């Protein structure tokens, strides 16, 4: 029996069930163990580890054998004794705009909902007149902010295409955000599987969901974020894809207010080396100054007392 740890959110459970189905098809018995994370209890918790810490504790304690994460939520440092062991085939990595045909179609001063500093930086780098409205919650909660009768209505929201597709919620009019500044979050669209580093049986079992090409891209993207020291106050994007010339990796660092941003794109074969090279080139172009300015503008929110709640 493989005990598969997952957050309780609707999207997390859809993702966990997809992995469980693949494992079952390969002949494994699987039990999904729902775990409430710090992020589920307090969405403004101070860092991205809020989505994975309790899952990693359950792994370390032997309460689960495997954890399923949205790869973009996994911090750069993995606790001793644990390891990322597989990555599923990547789905659409792009962000999409819901509520308007494009950013250009929005009126002056339109309200755009997102809680991501990266997305805010990219939108404002494109149109400084737009107003970013902090919009948290699960996918349905954020889509609900578009309703005409919502007390804090927004004109558009930005969401990950992959999450919408997995939930069957992607509207026909969702507009992909493309252009030099619109680099997705590292790992966006990918599921990362984490296990105890010495669990050879689990490492063999997850081969049925592992995609080597996606893994190489995930390693390169995570190297960019790690080498830049990206955290919850960072507007950092990294996106890698396989081309005839090798791995092609784009990186982005921006100021959350849109006042400055840098991008770089390089080709290589070794994911770690490629990620390190892009991070270094971004630094030489001014990334460190942008990251420090972002930390001053958006210091981590002090952690509040937790309250138990099941996401809607």
Catalytic positions are 72-73, 118-119, 136, 142, 232
Q: Is the dihedral of CA 135, 140, 141, 146 positive or negative?
A: positive
CA nearest 202: which of 75, 86, 34, 70?
86
CA nearest 67: which of 30, 109, 16, 17?
16
Cα–Cα distance measured from residue 223 to residue 254, given in angstroms and rounded to the nearest whole number: 18
Tracing tokens 């001014």 back to the chain, one arrives at 286
C-alpha torsion 201→206→211→216, nearest 10: -50
> For residue 210, what are the contacts with CB-CB under 8 A and spacing of at least 6?
85, 86, 87, 88, 193
Cα–Cα distance measured from residue 162 to residue 239, given in angstroms and rounded to the nearest whole number: 14
CB atoms within 10 A of CB 160: 24
Helix, coil or strand: residue 237? strand
CB 194 within 8 A of CB 67: yes
CB 235 within 8 A of CB 212: no
H or E segment to which residue 289 belongs: helix 287-297
| Count of all residues that appear for the chain in the document | 312
CA distances in angstroms from 162 to 14, 39, 73, 91, 188, listed in the order given: 12, 20, 14, 6, 8
């Amino acid at each position: 029996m493989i005990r598969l740890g997952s957050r309780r959110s609707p999207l997390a459970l859809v993702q966990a069930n997809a992995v469980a189905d693949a494992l079952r098809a390969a002949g494994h018995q699987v039990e999904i163990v729902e775990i409430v994370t710090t992020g589920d209890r307090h969405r403004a918790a101070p860092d991205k580890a809020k989505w994975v810490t309790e899952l990693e504790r359950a792994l370390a304690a032997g309460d689960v054998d495997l954890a399923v994460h949205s790869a973009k939520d996994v911090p750069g440092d993995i606790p001793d004794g644990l390891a990322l062991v597989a990555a599923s085939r990547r789905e659409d990595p792009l962000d999409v705009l819901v509520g308007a045909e494009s950013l250009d179609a929005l009126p002056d001063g339109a309200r755009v909902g997102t809680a991501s500093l990266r997305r805010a930086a990219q939108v404002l780098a494109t149109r400084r007149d737009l107003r970013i409205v902090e919009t948290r919650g699960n996918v349905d909660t954020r889509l609900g902010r578009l309703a005409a009768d919502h007390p804090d209505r927004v004109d558009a929201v930005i969401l990950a295409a992959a999450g919408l597709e997995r939930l069957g919620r992607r509207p026909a009019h969702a507009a992909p955000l493309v252009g030099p500044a619109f680099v997705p979050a590292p790992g966006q669209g990918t599921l990362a599987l984490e296990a105890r580093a010495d669990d050879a049986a689990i490492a063999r079992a997850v081969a049925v969901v592992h995609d080597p090409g996606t893994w190489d891209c995930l390693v390169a993207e995570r190297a960019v974020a790690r080498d830049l020291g990206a955290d919850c106050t960072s507007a950092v994007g990294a996106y890698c894809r396989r081309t005839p010339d090798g791995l092609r990796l784009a990186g982005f660092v921006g100021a959350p207010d849109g006042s400055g941003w840098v991008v770089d794109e390089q080709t290589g074969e070794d994911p770690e080396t490629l990620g390190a090279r892009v991070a270094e080139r971004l630094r030489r172009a001014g990334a460190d100054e942008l990251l420090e300015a972002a930390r001053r503008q958006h210091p981590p929110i002090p952690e509040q007392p937790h309250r138990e709640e099941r996401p809607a």
